[in-house]
Amino acid sequence: MKIILALGNPEPDYNGSRHNVGFAVLNQLATELGAKWADKSKFDAVVAETDINGEKLLLVKPTTYYNETGLSARKITDFYKSDPATDLLVLHDDMALPFGMIRVRGQGGDAGNNGIKSLNDHIGVNYVRIRIGTSNDLREQMDDTAFVLGKFSADESAKLADNIIPRAIELTQHFCAGTLEKTSHKTLE
């Protein structure tokens, strides 16, 4: 079984924000796979169950808020006796990467990301991440919180839908198939 967990905030007001780009990827993947979301309070998450390549797949959007994502991840990995190093993929925004850059990593520190810090505190640092770059010219003009909770522009939203989300889904499918390379991917020119 594979678990794809995205970082984000649960309320609709956060839809379209930089912090919720992982949720946007999972929503599109669920639509493509015909998976239906269900509230799973025992996991502090909304979960869609499906299969891919004959293997059970859980798509997970924690309801704990971004900075407490590790609580949900721990409950799910413990319940299913999953090994985060091999069975868990985390999707999240990264304001240190330029918009359009996707970086895949197999482990690591939190680099100031509170959601990743929570995950590392609860399940350790050994799990695969897809980091989706959100930085743009506004990054230097506002504080971190305002930036990550800010909405994507219309142009960025179009690029997300046309290029970035499909590329992140493709990488997710590689993870499920065991063929994901840990490297950087520039999705826009």
The confidence score (pLDDT) of residue 170 equals 94
Domains of the chain, by residue range, sit at 2-186
- 172 alpha-carbon distance from chain centroid: 10
- Determine which of 14-18, 108-112, 155-159 has the lowest per-residue pLDDT on average: 108-112
Q: Find, among 17, 11, 28, the residue nearest to 134 by Cα.
A: 17
User: How far is 161 from 156, CA to CA, in rounded Å?
Assistant: 9
Residue 139 reports pLDDT greater than 60: yes
Give the pLDDT band of residue 189 (cuts 50, 70, 90). very low
HSE (side-chain half, CA atoms, 13 Å) at 5: 34
Superfamily of domain covering 2-186: Peptidyl-tRNA hydrolase (3.40.50.1470)
4-14 pLDDT tens trace:
999 999 999 99
The catalytic residue positions are: 19
Q: Average pLDDT of the chain?
A: 92
Higher pLDDT, 140 or 5: 5
Measuring CA to CA, which residue among 50, 71, 40, 64 is closest to residue 4? Answer: 50
User: Tens of pLDDT along 8-62?
Assistant: 999 999 999 999 999 999 999 999 999 999 999 999 999 999 998 788 999 999 9
The confidence score (pLDDT) of residue 185 equals 62
pLDDT band at 137 (very low <50, low <70, confident <90, very high): confident
Q: How do strand 128-135 and strand 101-105 relate by DSSP bridges?
A: antiparallel
